[in-house]
Structure 1
Amino acid sequence: MDGGENDSHQGSSLVIHQTTEQLIARCIAPVKKDFIRPPPDRTTSSQNDTVSIPNDKPPLLAKEKKSKRQLKRERRQDQKSTKNLCPEISKSGDVNSCRYQDKCRFSHDIEAFKAQKPDDLEGECPFLKSEGSCPYGLSCRFLSTHEEGKPLSSNGLEKRSEVNGFSKDVQKLLWKNKMTYPKADAKLKALGLFSKPKVNNLGNKDGDDKCVQSEENGSGVVTSELENNDGVDKCHLSDDDGLCGVAADSGSKLECSAEVKKDDDITRELESDIICPLKRRKTEENCEDVETENEGVSVVDQNVDGSCIKSEPEAGPEAIAPETDLSLKLHSREKKLIDFREKLYLAPLTTVGNLPFRRVCKVLGADVTCGEMAMCTNLLQGQASEWALLRRHSSEELFGVQICGAYPDTVARTVELIEKECTVDFIDINMGCPIDIVVNKGAGSALLTKPMRMKSVVEVASGTVDIPITIKVRTAYFEGKNRIDSLIADFSSWGASAVTIHGRSRQQRYSKLADWDYVYQCTKKAPNNLQVVGNGDVFSFVDWNNHKTECPELATCMIARGALIKPWLFTEIKEQRHWDISSGERLNIFKDFVHFGLQHWGSDTKGVETTRRFLLEWLSYTCRYIPVGLLEVVPQRINWRPPSYYGRDDLETLMASDSAADWVRLSEMLLGKVPEGFTFAPKHKSNAYDRAENG
């Protein structure tokens, strides 16, 4: 049994016999005695449980190793099954609408598809109000709500509200290493840092490419979320508490051949990537194959803004005009400034901080949002799954993307590519990610041990693009050897517009509370033109007020794990109150997430199940929230472990459960029954709070 969970159960049995002060001293939430209940018996699995999640860690299952050719053949066979109707036929309802006809990789049997299609879900199609017609047609799980006699889908996406789509033309250029970076290369040459990109091995020295993926846990997820086996650390959490890692799949619909895959598909793809992580040679035939796959995906898969910068195929990295680019380059003081002061900043949260979750937080009061951390070399290699992390919704007025790289050349070329292809308000460079797979390659918090390389990375990035550059750091690499206070005076001269300081060292990971006294110390040493954002353990408007009162120079506070546990924290801060939110109001928030998720990942069966899995990941955090009306002491602290307790109604009790089977039941209230054979294990240990093995 997990050590943290064991402590939680022990606290539940003793909580009635201890004073409030004793419970708080043990970091056990002081729930009112009337609501305490014995911890559930996990020794035997209930007959009604849909999933069975071990209390320690998912078992390592031996996987049969298959060749890439065999895996591809299996995927093609699965595509041809009757459950995968051709997207063109699905949209039009006409069996003759597919231009590939017999050569199409998908099924054209409409009747067979309808015979095996799951029943429609309750509710209305999420696309009808926003776009007027559904791009999924016959595949939509809300087909019964489509208007009869109206075309199943429109030919355009005039009302499409997501931007930063990834062009297939740009992807081909990246695959073939024919993309040019004149601004970045000119700046690198000016600083004496230029190195010519290697063919099919672009920026490999960073090591942040596919090597971040691992199959050793047998779950087909990205190593950055499971590498360290310590539960909360897994870059599953924002640099505050989390989430600085490589996303398993933010799940945008812009990836080739229906990017959002089932778990087994993801596993097979990761396995094939590991076999040869940097093999990106694409023949003309292969590229055509990918294009064909994209054309077989529904309308929402296609590039929206078409912002392809078509470089000359024969042009190489030498084809630059450094004098021209440098003469036109803006001085750092002339750049557009981003004002973070007093704004509520949602941290980049790996996996859970996807676009639908950010939309939920925007509705609840977030002012600034940031995409999940993307690895520079993955972006430069044209990985659609990584580019999906840069997706932006129109409701995100102040939006940034976070990148992670170890060397100036890869970072410079990445920021130039992002500026050219995307619409963002700022670019954040992560220099605080603590996970081993990133640190061992010189990226993330490893940069804290190399201040001259930090300087080169920031200087070349800020000198390459006009978009404001911000950085995110931890207090130090080693515990007790803080060093940001000695560097912070230089950040603005290097070109950074703002710095976020997470009040923990890399060695500390996520154990103990954040050191806000040191954050204050650094903030007071910062020059006036550098905005400092504090990060760590903000879980109530009281925490927010205290930090702003203690250090008025602080621009704002970044909110990470607190937003995962209770996203209405933004509302509480703006309204300066403890919101005793009801279970019905919480359910409505989950309904909003599901609606946004279906719009983002799709209303077909694959989109429904993708939405379900991201919802379950989020529920593994929200179960840690304790309603205000049940607490002896308000507000709840982020490091308090909740004992086993009854809610004020059955739904609130269900939401308090730390059992994955109960999370699945909640998902079924919103998305219908899970498919046969469905399994789920969270990519983190939601009950791991402050344990020694976390650092």
Structure 2
Amino acid sequence: MEWQIGNVKIPNRVVVAPMAGVTNSAFRVICKKFGAGYVVCEMISDRGIMYRNKKTLSMMNVDPVEHPMGIQIFGGSKETLVQAAQFVDTKTDADVIDINMGCPVNKVVNTDAGARWLLDPDKVYEMVSYVVDAVSKPVTVKMRIGWDSDHVYAVKNALAAERAGASAIAMHGRTRKQFYSGYADWNVLKEVADALTIPFMGNGDVKSPEDAKRMLDEVGCNAVMIGRAVLGNPWMLKRTVHYLETGELLPEATPEQKISIAKEHLHDLIELKGDYVGVREFRGQAAYYVKGIPHSARTKAALMEATEEAEMDRLFDELLVKVQDYQRERQAKN
């Protein structure tokens, strides 16, 4: 079901959340291949953009297959945030500029950025309005419901961003204090969805296609934003899109499929970042790909030590042989 962020058409209601250290171009391309309607780049520092930091600028490369996609920026002062937004607006292929108001980590919050703004709807309005006025691409905001359980200003903050000219809001149903513990509060997300007139993306505790449908139905959001459930499991996207369209649940990925995509993801990451960085960054992803595969504990440990693509590929291939032997043994017993 198509919807829009400003003038940008999104082909379906399944969105991949921006995740630091994860949603680089290699990962986003895989998510698109598995049917994601919209993807967002991992958050990028406004100062990194301002100082033209080489690593920061390389994070903003957009593969043509990624569209529609957004680049997410964060920062603590309106001057630097506006400059970063203008750079994304005029110097990148992003379709949308997203402002991070939800990152809970101290390193970001202590620079007066990310989730820090959740305590002040006036600051939300001010920062968003300055950015909207400075760019021509649609601006969206990613937030959490509040700072802690005593400061849940979800509706006020969302309305402040809408009033300031945001084209859509995404909100995670946890507070900053929760980080990723406990549960996402879908009741608060529903209050936000009911209050807004611009599109709303709900986020938090969507672990299956059924969860995605339930969130769309119960929260009343325009799209569902999926984060951690996609790690090592891009099939989640394909299964969710299919389920929302047809009501049919496709099977989970087989070990063969998981290993095949893991190797492709690894290769693409190395193409993007080079051997040294690519292999090391992929270690965290590798653990997600082998999760749930029988007899994978030793493979997982070895992958964490691997330093070359060929070594990782060999470990994946050996695991596959183990799994196939295990499956044959079980069939023989039955």
Alignment of 1:143-222 (within 5 A): none
Q: Take 2:128 and 2:68, find their aligned partners in 1: how far apart are those partners?
A: 21
Higher helix proportion: 2
CA distance in 2: counterparts of 1:341 and 1:543, whole angstroms: 20
For the Cα contact (< 8 Å) 1:612–1:671, is it kept in 2? no
Q: How does 1:593-604 map to 2 (within 5 A)?
A: 593-601=265-273
Counterpart of 1:391 in structure 2 is 61
Displacement after TM superposition at 1:623 (Å): 4.3
- The Cα offsets for residues 469-489 of structure 1, whole Å up to 9 and x where unpaired, read as 000111111224311123333
Per the alignment, residue 582 of structure 1 pairs with 254
Match of 2:263 in 1: 591
The residue type paired with residue 349 of structure 1 is M
- Residues 1:661 and 2:331 are matched in the alignment: no
Give the distance between the partners of 2:192 and 2:24, measured in 1 at CA: 31
Deviation of the 1:549 alpha carbon: 1.6
Give, as a single letter, the amino acid of the residue that structure 2 aligns with 1:487. N
**Counterpart of 2:48?**
378
Alpha-carbon separation, structure 1, partners of 2:277 and 2:104: 28
- C-alpha distance after superposition, 1:478-521 (max 9, x if no partner): 22431112333332220100111110001111111211121111
Once the two structures are TM-superposed, the CA of residue 404 in structure 1 deviates from its matched residue by: 0.3
Distance 1:512 1:672, change over 3 A: same
Amino acid of the residue matched to residue 569 of structure 1?
Answer: M
The partner residue of 2:70 within 366, 379, 400 is: 400
**Equivalent residue letter for 1:536:** G
8 Å CA contact 1:342, 1:555 repeated in 2: no
Distance 1:623 1:518 in 2: 35
Q: Residue 24 of structure 2 corresponds to which residue in structure 1? A: 354
How far 1:375 sits from its partner (Å)?
Answer: 0.6
CA contact (8 A) 2:9 2:68 kept: no
- Tell me the CA shift for residue 658 of structure 1: 8.5
Structure 1 equivalent of residue 113 of structure 2: 443
Q: TM-score, normalised by structure 1?
A: 0.42
Q: 1:338 to 1:392 in 2, by over 3 A?
A: same
Q: Deviations over 1:235-259 (max 9, x none)?
A: xxxxxxxxxxxxxxxxxxxxxxxxx
Aligned CA distance change for structure 1 residues 430 and 455 (closer, same or farther; 3 Å)? same
The answer as to whether partners of 2:148 and 2:175 remain within 8 angstroms in 1 is yes
Q: 2:219 aligned with 1:551, yes or no?
A: yes
User: Counterpart of 1:570?
Assistant: 237
Q: Deviations over 1:337-390 (max 9, x none)?
A: 234584321111211222111111111111211111001011101111111221
Q: CA RMSD in A?
A: 2.3
Aligned-partner Cα distance in 1 for 2:299–2:187: 33
Q: State whether residues 373 and 389 of structure 1, in contact with CA within 8 Å, keep that contact through their aligned partners in structure 2.
A: no
- Following superposition, the deviation at residue 449 of structure 1 comes to 1.5
Give me the whole-angstrom Cα distance separating, in 1, the residues matched to 2:234 and 2:65.
17
Q: 1:672 to 1:609 in 2, by over 3 A?
A: farther
How far is 1:664 from its partner?
A: 4.9
Q: Is contact 2:41-2:71 (8 Å) kept?
A: yes
Per the alignment, residue 517 of structure 1 pairs with 187
**Between structures 1 and 2, the one with greater strand share:** 2
Percent sequence identity is: 25
Q: Tell me the residue number matched to 2:35.
A: 365
Shift of 1:659: 4.6
Structure 2 counterpart of 1:616: 283
Question: d(CA) in 2 for partners of 1:474 and 1:380?
Answer: 26
Runs of 4+ in 1 over 6 A off after TM superposition: none
Note if contact 1:501-1:535 (Cα within 8 Å) is conserved in structure 2. yes
* 2:332 match: none
Report the CA distance between 1:588 and its aligned residue.
0.9
Matching residue of 2:129: 459
Which one has a bigger Cα radius of gyration?
Answer: 1
Contiguous gaps of at least 5 residues in structure 2:
244-248, 316-334
Q: 1:532 is matched with which residue?
A: 200
**C-alpha displacement at 1:439, in angstroms?**
0.9
- The Cα shift of 1:438 comes to 1.4
| One-letter amino acid of the counterpart of residue 484, structure 1 | A
Cα distance in 2 for residues equivalent to 1:562 and 1:551: 19
Matches within 5 A, 1:72-471: 336-340=6-10, 342-471=12-141
Structure-2 change in CA distance of 1:416 and 1:580 (3 Å)? closer
TM-score (norm 2): 0.84
3-state SS of the aligned residue for 2:200?
Answer: strand
State how far apart, in whole Å, the 2-side matches of 1:523 and 1:340 are.
18
Alpha-carbon distance in structure 1 between the residues aligned to 2:299 and 2:74: 33
For residue 388 of structure 1, what is the amino acid of its counterpart? S
8 Å Cα contact 2:266-2:309 kept in structure 1: no
Contact 1:478 1:505 in 2 (8 A): yes
Work out the CA distance in 1 between the residues paired with 2:118 and 2:186: 19
- Contact 2:144–2:174 (Cα < 8 Å) also in 1: yes
